[in-house]
A and B are shown apart, each in its own frame.
Chain A
């Protein structure tokens, strides 16, 4: 994807990164009504639709921040599809009965679908990593939190009253432990199958 041209709608991704109120407001007016309309037609209501919109925007923000997401397709279809699929997942989770979906015909390019899938995988991984992080022991959690907020390992060492060598080694062991927890989780294999 590196050689394809960045789409002009990348400005919306930038707006999320900069927390640019003006552009974000414009985005909301432009893209929210379609999502709200769709969810309302499919057993949802407006507040729920707006929660979905918010969650999806935050996921896109995280992906942009962590992976440097660069759009080469229009934002509209990408965003709508993400919201739609997230809503359908919610419906599946909460209803035992069959749900009728009012499909709309939206022409969506393969490229948009590619971006949607990438974001969904990113989100699934993100959720799994956070979930597994919580499984770590208290000492590991605290050490990792300190190492990644304070940055300088010397400072972390002095704060925890340990030697530099010890905290550094402990940090690598804790991340190693987290890596193993993730690898051993059944969800991880499910995500891998999607790749």
Chain B
């Protein structure tokens, strides 16, 4: 049997088109010749594989994109749960909360605009790598997380002097400046980040918006908030603030 004849037979076998005579022949060859049987079975499997592969191509892509959406919404709920947890636990938070309430009360007589504290949600800094001998990164982390921003600024600047392009350092430097009320400097840092292409791009827009909010520059805040894209982690917060402002 030539290869042409063999594969024609295989093709008919897969599509159930064998004549009775051919069926007998295939049956006989499968019993007598192991390599024939092996090849036929593999041919059949490859045939099914190709069939489903081209068949489900579109469907599979839809599933993939849906799974991506589910993954993103899962990540968003997790990060918002984490944030609430951080706010709830520490004891000093009560004092802050009380002062915010008072500030709020005072504020309300004044105007209805939202304030920076309502929206500021400072993430934790974690840059000290396991086993890292870098003293500055540990110090920066400690200072930042215990809200000693002036100190953290110093350490971050020292880290940046060795690693100028590190966007993580830049981003956290921006936050330390913002928290200290060094608004113009903070703007410089955030602007560089949101014009760039790092993972902090969108976060930087959000924080620069907060930087403007803290200075009560509402028009500027609104302008920035409008550029926070839907896929950004802070999109919902940005929308809330936006609707509170307009």
Task: List A residues at the B interface (Cβ < 8 Å).
Answer: 16, 19, 21, 24-25, 28-29, 32, 50, 53-54, 57-58, 61-62, 65-66, 125-126, 129-130, 133, 144-145, 148-149, 168-169, 171-173, 175-176, 178-179, 182-183
Contacts and interface: CB of A to CB of B under 8 A. Distances in A.
Q: Dominant SS at the A interface?
A: helix
14 contacts: A19-B59, A19-B62, A21-B66, A21-B70, A24-B67, A54-B71, A58-B67, A61-B60, A62-B56, A65-B52, A144-B50, A149-B54, A172-B8, A179-B46
Interface string B45-82: 11111111111100110111011111101110000000
Interface in B1-43: 3-4, 6-8, 10-11, 38-39, 42-43
Nearest to B51: A148
B56 to A, nearest CB: 5
A172 B10 contact: yes
The size class of the interface chain B forms with chain A is 35 or more
B43 A148 contact: no
A15 to B, nearest CB: 10
B2 to A, nearest CB: 11
A29 B74 contact: yes
A172 B46 contact: no
Contact of A24 (B3, B10, B66): B66
B53 A148 contact: yes
Contacts of B66: 19, 21, 24
Contacts of B39: 179, 183
Contact of A66 (B38, B52, B68, B69): B52
Nearest to B12: A172
A148 B67 contact: no
A172 B51 contact: no
B42 A179 contact: yes
A183 B41 CA distance: 12
A172 B49 contact: no
B50 A50 contact: no
Contacts of A32: 74
Nearest to B65: A19
B63 A179 contact: no
A172 B7 contact: yes
Contacts of A57: 67
B7 A148 contact: no
A98 B39 CA distance: 41
Contacts of A173: 3-4, 7
